[in-house]
Each structure stands twice: as structure tokens, then as C-alpha cells.
């Protein structure tokens, strides 16, 4: 995000004409209230649902009569800067009030959670990251931006780029996995896709990189929990993706709910003013997470709402999401000199800058024709991109005996209720899909003309029907079992202590295996699952995540060989839940895990992931040879030969890792430094080259200083973090 001098002048001129009330109004994000239809406050209704005093059905009935209150009078009075709404006509109406009825006519910035697509829903981020396809990351973001603008949304609360190493945390589904480099490349691509096509106001939105910072390190994988770590860990693992996003010009950032080393991010001046605005140079503004300023009282860092609001403003929090605390207390704080006017002016300047950059003062409205176009249906190119993204995000974990791909002549018994549920394909944080756009795995398979019969047999919830399973086994040449999680089992507030397949799905799989028929397991899940038993017992496992509206087409194409899986895991899968957190880029320890007793291992479980970061198979096979490393003045020139040794065309994601063997801080046993996708026909061999700047071999120390140190480095290249060729090189800088 860059402003012209003219735009900067416009902002200064407008700021100079604003009253204190109007300035504070720009720092206020109004979340819609839900009103009517019930005689208790909405928050009480949510409590009643949560503690079971009313059923989901009763809640739905009550909500059917409710409406959203967007606080129109406050908008008219210039006291609201932003709303959250995904209805284009409602957004036009609210903009009209702000622009035509308030004193200064400042338009609203309209935010919404468009994390992996709006109505064209793409794979959840942990899945899309498995494609290691930066161009795809950017393309899906660009399409999400266009669909957002066409619905009056000009601010996406995305990308979520929290590195996460603990799959017990439900929000691991929302981000690009465990690795800082993959996360950084994902972040860059998403910012480019959301923000860079400024050729038309219809093509770009303000990104909101989140959650700043280290939310994924919540203790025990328990959502909203405390996080604590060394500064070097923060700088080397959790900040890189945000640094990358800032370098790409991300317009806004959302602060995380968690405290970091005892100070909540929401009121953490070192993080907000020191690192984010100072070191990284954020040009736009920081918004709190929902209700997070108020929650600083719960954290125990603020005595009351007023104290929390003052701390947040002084720490550099520019906009308050949904608490009214800025609106209620900042004026008095400024009048008493507790919060200097320059703090207010800085926040408002940042917010107005984003609104000017978005072109909202030129035209905040959605043309009726654009609204009607989407009401007629999704454009074909949008659907095609959904299919492409879904196809590249699947990961073939196992394929013993080459059972996949299936032949269309085989009689397929499709088992599992998830297979027939088109409402489960989008995953967490998808709120604008339409059922008519969604394709279940069953529908996708049936559309191919394959000989498929469906047997529900059960799923993540409820009982398993073994009689139905008997019928499925009797009729089949091959059984395709779709098992996993519902979309509600991952995402926000969905941490779990047991991340094995929920319900009786493991028993169902075991029962199907006992039939003696070939069993293909398709996983539909939002988080890495503990697959210790499955990795041993199941011959074929296709990780299909929640792939978005066209999941069914993509899975059917993969099962039948119309596409060849190419994805590689963006996150490690543990054998058992108790292994979490588990990740590939871990320190060695003084006693690296081994079968020997006195080493870093468990008595009752493996110490390594059952499926490691970067792992993924194909329907063909690849061989690597002749890794070479040549030092030049500034770089390492790395080369390897890759050959397709199978009978089908395929794409391999070649991964480059390094290790700093002895440094002034303990370093990981491997760190991803680059990757590329290479497509080869059968028998084709190609030299794959990487140019690795030597300065990228450094790390941040506990003073936040970036160090590149002399010594031995190991260079690894291969098709996963585990299977690599290796060379050593000794460098002096």
C-alpha cells in the first residue's frame, strides 16, 4: 500500500477538519448487534446455546426472527469507521448514510473474514499451502478480492499467517502450516493477490494479516492461551511471515488475542510500535481482534475497560473491533491529557490513508449490475480455479500396491457420511458459499460415470452402522472410505486433546479392512490428525482436507487418475496426540531421539512425525541424483538432477533445506530455504537449480539482531523434509 503525495495531502486536510468525536469515531469498528425475536440480550442467548439451555434447533428458530443492527444513527453521527457485513445492498445502504448523511462524508471500510475465498471457496489454508504453488496462492487471493468488492467488502481479515506446530489447536487449519519460509512465501503471494491489482477499484481490497503475533504458540494448543518464548524464537519462527507481509505492503494487521511473555499483543507497545510500525514499517493500521481490548481486563493487565482502552491506544492499537471502549472512554482520556492528541491523530491518519488508498472517497458503492451478476451464478473461471486449487492441495500419504488410481471398470463402494455432505467441503471460516455451488465427493464421483454405490455407515459423529458396512463390502471391487472431521471440529475455539479420527471411524476402517477388499481412505479434516494406527494399518491414504466448493470434482479426478496428486504436507502429522507439538525444524537436543533409552524420545510413542513436513507421493515416482553445491561471492549455487522414473506424468515439489551445524545459538536440524514445482513426463530428467543467497543462512539472536556466522552448513535437497540428498560446505563471511 503506497499513497501518492496528493492522497497524503487529502488525508492531512481532512484530519485537520475533524472534531475529536469524529476522530475517535474513525477508531471504532462496529460489529453488528443481533436484535429482536428473543427477550434476552444476544450474548445471553449465546451463553444459553453454549451451556445447553437451548438446543441448536431452538437457537436457529430464534435467530430466524432476528435482525442485525448496524447502528445507523452512530454512522450518521460520524462515530463509526467500519462495519462487518457481506450483503452488497446492505453495504451500499450503510455507505450512503456515511457518505451522504454524516458531516464529513467519510466512507466506511467494510471488513469480512474472507480467509480462503468468498463465494468461490478454495481449500483451507493448511491445504492450499500443500501445493507449494505461490502463483496459485496469489490467484485465489485475487479472485477473493474481486468477489469481496462485488459484495461491498473492501477489507479482508486475511491472510491468517500464524505459524503453528501443535495440531491440537483448531486454528492450525486457517494458516499455512509449521514452516516460516513457506508461511512467508504464502503471505507475500496473498498480499500481492489481495492488494496489487489496482487497475480498478473492483479488483483489490485491503489485506489484514493476522494474528499478530505467535497466536499459534498457545500453550497446550489451547485456543486463546498464553504464549511464552525467547526473542530468538519469536524472530526466527513467528515473525518472518509478518515481516514478509510488511515487505509486500500489507495495508493492515490484526493483533492476536494471546499475551506474549506476559503482555497481551493488544496492549504490547514493543510489538505494535516497536517492531510492527517501527522495524517493519507498517504504512496502514492495526485493528484489535474481536472484543480483545475488553479482554485485557480478563488477562489481568487492565483494571477496567477504561484502563484497557487507554493502554491499547498508547501501545499503538489504531482501531477497536467491537467493544465501544474507544468510543466510550478515549475522549475523556484525551481531554485529561492521559492520551495525547498526537496518538489519536496518528491512528486516524493511518485509517484514513487506507480508506483513501482503497478509493472509497471516489466510489464506495457496488453497482447493481455487479450484484445481479453474482445472483445469476459463479463465473466459469471462478469454478475452474476452485477445481485447480483443490486438485493441487491434496496429499497422497500412502499408496501401497498402487491401488490408486482406480479404474472406471471397478465397482466402487463409497463409505462414510462425510462423502455425501456438500455442506462439509468448505471447512472453517467459509461463510458465503451457496449449497448449489458445492460438490460432495459422492456427487463428484457419480458425475464421472464411475460405477459407485454409496453406503453412509456413519462418520465423525453418531453411531457406526456395521450392517451397512457389510453391504458395502459385499458389493465392492474396492472400498473408498471417506472419514475425518466436520468443519466445526477445527477453526476458532476448536482445540482438542484427542486428535485421532473422531467417533467410531477408526473402528469402521478396521472393519472394512477385515473384509479383505482393497480399502482407499480419503481424509476430510481441518487439522493434522494423529494417524499412528492408520499409517500402519491402511494401505492407501489420500489427505483431502476441506478443499472448498469443488472438492468432489477434485477428489473424484484424483481417485480415477484424471489428475495426479502432487501436494506435500505443510504440517507434520503425529502418531499420537501426546506427541504434539511435533515439527520437522526442531533443535537437535544433546540426545537426539533414537531407539536408545537415554535419548529425547517417548517410552510409549515414536518421537518423529508419522508423516513429516514436505511428505507427499505421486502416481509416478521420482529419483534424485548428483547434488552439487558451488559457492560464489554472495550465493550458493545448488544443483540436483531429478528424473521421473514412473509411467505417468507428474509434478514433484523439490525442497531445499539447510542446517547451520554449529552456531552461537542452537539451530534446527533442518530449515526450508527454497522450493519449486517440477513437472516431468515419464523418463524425463531435468537439472533443478537453486541460487541461495548466503545471507539467508543467518538467524536472529536473542537481541533481535540478524547474525550470519562462519562454519559448516549442510545442504539437503529432496521430496520431503526426511528423504534428501546431502552435501556439506564450510563458509566464512
Cβ nearer to ligand GLC, comparing 252 with 525: 252
Minimal distance in Å, beta carbon 324 to ligand GLC?
A: 16
CB 181 within 8 A of CB 598: no
Least Cβ distance, residue 608 to ligand GLC (angstroms) = 32
**Rounded distance between C-alpha atoms, residue 192 and residue 248, angstroms:** 7
Give the x-and-dash track for 96-135 against ligand GLC (CB under 6 A). Answer: -----------------x----------------------
Tell me the sheet residues that pair with 483.
523
- Are 242 and 235 spatial neighbours (Cβ–Cβ below 8 Å)? no
Q: At which residue does the C-alpha cell 499483543 appear?
A: 265
Binding residues with ligand GLC: total (CB under 6 A): 6
Are 248 and 137 in contact by the 8 Å Cβ rule? The answer is: no
Residue 290 in contact with ligand GLC, rule: CB under 6 A: yes
Of 166 and 392, nearer to ligand GLC (C-beta) is 166
Least separation in angstroms between CB 371 and ligand GLC = 23
Record the cell numbers describing residue 364, joined without a space: 464506495
The strand pairing partners of 286, in sequence order, are 253
**Minimum distance of ligand GLC from residue 156's CB (angstroms):** 9
State which residue, 210 or 327, has the beta carbon closest to ligand GLC: 210
Q: Are strands 451-455 and 411-415 parallel, antiparallel or unpaired?
A: parallel
How far is it, in rounded angstroms, from Cα 529 to Cα 490? Answer: 11
Region 144-163 residues binding ligand GLC, contact defined as CB under 6 A:
157
Out of 370, 492, 507, 649, name the contact with ligand GLC by CB under 6 A. Answer: 492
Longest CA–CA separation in the chain, Å: 80
* C-alpha span between 38 and 53 (Å, rounded): 14
Measure the CA–CA gap between 439 and 421, rounded to whole angstroms: 9
Buried b (16+ CB within 10 A) or exposed e, 76-89: eebbbbbbbbbebe
Q: Nearest distance from residue 175's CB to ligand GLC, in Å? A: 11
The length of the chain in residues reads 733
Quote the cell numbers at residue 260: 506474549
470 as an active site residue: the answer is no
The minimum distance between CB 576 and ligand GLC, in angstroms, equals 29
Planar angle of CA 190, 194, 199, nearest 5 degrees: 135
| CB-nearer residue toward ligand GLC: 80 or 576 | 80
In angstroms, rounded to a whole number, what is the distance separating the alpha carbons of residues 66 and 197? 38
- Of the two residues 157 and 186, which places its CB atom closer to ligand GLC in the complex? 157
- Which residue number, 289 or 437, has a Cβ lying nearer to ligand GLC? 289
Which residue has cell 544433546?
A: 590
Instruction: Please give the Cα distance from 467 to 244 (Å, whole number).
Output: 54
Instruction: Compute the distance between CA of residue 31 and CA of residue 290 in angstroms, rounded to an integer.
Output: 8
In the bound complex, what is the minimum distance in angstroms from residue 554's beta carbon to ligand GLC?
26
Element holding 625 (H helix, E strand): strand 622-631
Which residue is listed with cell 537449480? 689
Counting contacts by CB under 6 A, is residue 210 touching ligand GLC? yes
Q: Which helix (H) or strand (E) holds 254?
A: strand 252-255
Min CB(320)–ligand GLC separation in Å: 13
- Min CB(359)–ligand GLC separation in Å: 23
DSSP 540-581: EEEE-----TTHHHHHHHHHTTSS------SS-B-SSGGG-S
Q: Does 652 bind ligand GLC (CB under 6 A)?
A: no
Which residue's CB is nearer to ligand GLC, number 354 or number 397?
354
Count Cα neighbours of 385 within 13 Å in the Cβ-side half-sphere.
22
Between 428 and 556, CB nearer to ligand GLC: 428
134, containing H or E segment: helix 134-149
Out of 134, 162, 259, 289, pick the active-site residue: 289
In 354-433, DSSP assigns E strands to 395-399, 411-415
A 10 A CB-CB count for 348 gives 25
| Nearer to ligand GLC among residue 63 and residue 537 (C-beta) | 63
| Residue 492 Cβ vs ligand GLC, minimum distance, rounded to whole Å | 6
* Contacts (Cβ under 8 Å, ≥6 apart) of 632: none
- Tell me which of 133, 138, 162, 289 binds ligand GLC, using CB under 6 A: 289
Considering the complex, state which of residue 288 and residue 570 has its C-beta at the smaller distance from ligand GLC: 288
User: Helix, strand, or coil here: 255?
Assistant: strand
Contacting residues toward ligand GLC, per CB under 6 A: 113, 157, 210, 289-290, 492
Residues annotated as catalytic (active site), given as ranges = 289
Amino acid at each position: 500500500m503506497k499513497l501518492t503525495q496528493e492522497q497524503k495531502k487529502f488525508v492531512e486536510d481532512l484530519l485537520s477538519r475533524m472534531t475529536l468525536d469524529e476522530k475517535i469515531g474513525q477508531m471504532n469498528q462496529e460489529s453488528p448487534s443481533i436484535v429482536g425475536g428473543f427477550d434476552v440480550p444476544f450474548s445471553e442467548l449465546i451463553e444459553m446455546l453454549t451451556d445447553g439451555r437451548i438446543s441448536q434447533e431452538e437457537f436457529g428458530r430464534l435467530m430466524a426472527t432476528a435482525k442485525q443492527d448496524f447502528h445507523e444513527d452512530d454512522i450518521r453521527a460520524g462515530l463509526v469507521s467500519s462495519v462487518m457485513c457481506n450483503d452488497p445492498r446492505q453495504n451500499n445502504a450503510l455507505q450512503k448514510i456515511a457518505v451522504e448523511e454524516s458531516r464529513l462524508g467519510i466512507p466506511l471500510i467494510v471488513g469480512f473474514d474472507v480467509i480462503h475465498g468468498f463465494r468461490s471457496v478454495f481449500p483451507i489454508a493448511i491445504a492450499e499451502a500443500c501445493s507449494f504453488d505461490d502463483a496459485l496462492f496469489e490467484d485465489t487471493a485475487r479472485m477473493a478480492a474481486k468477489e469481496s468488492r462485488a459484495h461491498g467488502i473492501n477489507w479482508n481479515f486475511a491472510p491468517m499467517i500464524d505459524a503453528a506446530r501443535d495440531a491440537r489447536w483448531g486454528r492450525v487449519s486457517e494458516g499455512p502450516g509449521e514452516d516460516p519460509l513457506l508461511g512467508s512465501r504464502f503471505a507475500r503471494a496473498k498480499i500481492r493477490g489481495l492488494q496489487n491489482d489496482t487497475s480498478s477499484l473492483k479488483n483489490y481490497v485491503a489485506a489484514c494479516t493476522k494474528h499478530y503475533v505467535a497466536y499459534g504458540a498457545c500453550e497446550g494448543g489451547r485456543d486463546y492461551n498464553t504464549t511464552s518464548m525467547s526473542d530468538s524464537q519469536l524472530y526466527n519462527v513467528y515473525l518472518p511471515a509478518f515481516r514478509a507481509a510488511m515487505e509486500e505492503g500489507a495495508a493492515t494487521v490484526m493483533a492476536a488475542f494471546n499475551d506474549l511473555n506476559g503482555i497481551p499483543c493488544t496492549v504490547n507497545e514493543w510489538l505494535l510500535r516497536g517492531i510492527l510500525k517501527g522495524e517493519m514499517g507498517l504504512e496502514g493500521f492495526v485493528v484489535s481482534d474481536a472484543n480483545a481490548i475488553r479482554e485485557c481486563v480478563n488477562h489481568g493487565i487492565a483494571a477496567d475497560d477504561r484502563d484497557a482502552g487507554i493502554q491499547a491506544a498508547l501501545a499503538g492499537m489504531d482501531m477497536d473491533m467491537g467493544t465501544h471502549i474507544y468510543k466510550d472512554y478515549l475522549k475523556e482520556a484525551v481531554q485529561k491529557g492521559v492520551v495525547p492528541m498526537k496518538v489519536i491523530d496518528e491512528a486516524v491518519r493511518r485509517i484514513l490513508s487506507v480508506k483513501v488508498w482503497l478509493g472509497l472517497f471516489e466510489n464506495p458503492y457496488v453497482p447493481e449490475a455487479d450484484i445481479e451478476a453474482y445472483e445469476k451464478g459463479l463465473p466459469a473461471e471462478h469454478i475452474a480455479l476452485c477445481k485447480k486449487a483443490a486438485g493441487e492441495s491434496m496429499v497422497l500419504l500412502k499408496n501401497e500396491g498402487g491401488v490408486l488410481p482406480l479404474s472406471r471398470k471397478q465397482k466402487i463402494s463409497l463409505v462414510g457420511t462425510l462423502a455425501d455432505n456438500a455442506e462439509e467441503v468448505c471447512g472453517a471460516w467459509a461463510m458465503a458459499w451457496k449449497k448449489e455451488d458445492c460438490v460432495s465427493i459422492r456427487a463428484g464421483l457419480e458425475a464421472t460415470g464411475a460405477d459407485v454405490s454409496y453406503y453412509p455407515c456413519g462418520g465423525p459423529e453418531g453411531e457406526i452402522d456395521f450392517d451397512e458396512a457389510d453391504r458395502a463390502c459385499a458389493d465392492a471391487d474396492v472400498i473408498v472410505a471417506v472419514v475425518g472431521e466436520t468443519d466445526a471440529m477445527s477453526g476458532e475455539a476448536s482445540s482438542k486433546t484427542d486428535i485421532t479420527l473422531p467417533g467410531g471411524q477408526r473402528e469402521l476402517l478396521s472393519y472394512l479392512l477385515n473384509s479383505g477388499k482393497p480399502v482407499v481412505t480419503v481424509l476430510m479434516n481441518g487439522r493434522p490428525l494423529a494417524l499412528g494406527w492408520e499409517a500402519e494399518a491402511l494401505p492407501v491414504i489420500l489427505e483431502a482436507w476441506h478443499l472448498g466448493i469443488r472438492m468432489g470434482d477434485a477428489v473424484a479426478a484424483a481417485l480415477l487418475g484424471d489428475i495426479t496428486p502432487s501436494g506435500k504436507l505443510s504440517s507434520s502429522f503425529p502418531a499420537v496426540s501426546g506427541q504434539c507439538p511435533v515439527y520437522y525444524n526442531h533443535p537437535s537436543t544433546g540426545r537426539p531421539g533414537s531407539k536408545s533409552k537415554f535419548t529425547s524420545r517417548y517410552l510409549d510413542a515414536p518421537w518423529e512425525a508419522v508423516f513429516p513436513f514436505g511428505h507427499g507421493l505421486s502416481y509416478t515416482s521420482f529419483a534424485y541424483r548428483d547434488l552439487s553445491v558451488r559457492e560464489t561471492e554472495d550465493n550458493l549455487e545448488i544443483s540436483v538432477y531429478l528424473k521421473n522414473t514412473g509411467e505417468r506424468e507428474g509434478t514433484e515439489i523439490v525442497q531445499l533445506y539447510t542446517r547451520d551445524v554449529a552456531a552461537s545459538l542452537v539451530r534446527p536440524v533442518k530449515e526450508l530455504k527454497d522450493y519449486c514445482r517440477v513437472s516431468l513426463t515419464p523418463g524425463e530428467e531435468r537439472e533443478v537449480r537453486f541460487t541461495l543467497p548466503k545471507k539467508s543462512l543467518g538467524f536472529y539472536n536473542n537481541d533481535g539482531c540478524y547474525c550470519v556466522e562462519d562454519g559448516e552448513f549442510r545442504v539437503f535437497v529432496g521430496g520431503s523434509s526426511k528423504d534428501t540428498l546431502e552435501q556439506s560446505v564450510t563458509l566464512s563471511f
